[in-house]
Amino acid sequence: MFEKKLFDYKGLEVRVSDHATDGILEILKHAVQGSEGGLRFSLQNIAPRIAAYKDQIRFVSLYKKKQITGTVGSCYRLSGQGHLRYPTSYLRYLAFQSTYQTDSGWRKRKKELIKPEKDDTFKQKTLEIFSKPHLLDLNNVFEGDKHIMYAFVESMNERSKNLVHQAGYEYIRSFLTVAFSRFSPKTDSNVVRLKDEEKGKMESLLHEYYKEYSFFSTDYSFFGDKYYVLKKGDEIIAGVSAIPSLEYGDGL
């Protein structure tokens, strides 16, 4: 495992690590995802979920006076099939200390965090990391190679949208997430947890179903044995990976 400094500027440091340090885990543990006025939730089982990436994850973290203030994870994978197959990095686990998370706290403190300079070199170098995956010390990822870096950003989260825009990311398309809850769910004998011996068959079905999709990978489809299938007899009709998160429920 490693953690190393990429560069620094007047008490600020940017570091990259191939694991979640105690400081990173502490920030992620208390981070509330989503935007004010929208769906708010926190991630669960963070440590084992990060561990599932093994050596394919990197964290880029910002430190102020040796104290971590924010982090983001870059998860490497090969996505797609055939002519759509590319090495990709999925950016997730973006989190800041709680004092930076509210809109008022962000506006108040971002000038303190990075003071404007004529060339704004530190900010520019930090954002460039997210278009230069070779800086993250991943195996077989070299400067000049074709590589796609992407992220999902909630439409109401202006801070995250502004961040990815400044990093040079291009908007591709939107999708709608529908949140729902059943107060009295009923069991169905046709829905069961996927068995270990059925995972190969299910993976083949997923590859066939998503053969024309770009950002698809089965690497973590069966994480935590939380994959459930609907069966008709012995035939798998449908399947879904259901990984719990804790919702704060302040509405859409």
Q: What are phi and psi of 118, to 5 degrees?
A: -55, -45
Tens digits of pLDDT across the chain (252 residues): 999 999 998 889 999 999 999 999 999 998 887 777 666 778 888 999 999 999 999 999 999 999 999 999 999 999 999 999 999 999 999 898 865 555 555 455 555 554 555 447 888 889 889 899 999 999 889 999 999 999 988 888 787 888 888 888 998 888 887 877 777 888 899 999 999 999 999 999 999 999 999 889 999 999 989 999 999 999 999 999 988 766 554 433
Does residue 65 form part of some domain? yes
**For the domain that residue 38 is a member of, what is the CATH number?**
3.40.630.30
Q: How far apart are CA 151 and CA 44, in angstroms?
A: 20
Residues 141 and 205 in one domain: no
With 0-12 / 13-18 / 19 or more C-beta atoms within 10 angstroms meaning exposed / middle / buried, residue 11 is exposed
Residues 146 and 223 in one domain: no
Q: How many Å apart are CA 232 and CA 252, to the nearest integer?
A: 36
Q: Quick one: 34 and 88 in the same domain?
A: yes
Identify whether 177 is part of a domain.
no
d(CA 155, CA 161): 8
Residue range of the domain that includes 64: 3-166
Same structural domain for residues 24 and 86? Answer: yes
* Beta-carbon count within 10 A of 10 CB: 9
Residue 242 placed within a domain: yes
Determine, yes or no, domain membership for 172: no
Number of domains in the chain: 2
Please check whether residue 102 lies inside any domain of the structure.
yes
pLDDT of residue 92: 92
Residues 132 and 239 in one domain: no
In this structure, are 162 and 204 located in the same domain? no
Q: Is residue 76 part of a domain?
A: yes
Cα torsion angle, 226, 231, 235, 239, sign = negative
Model pTM score: 0.83
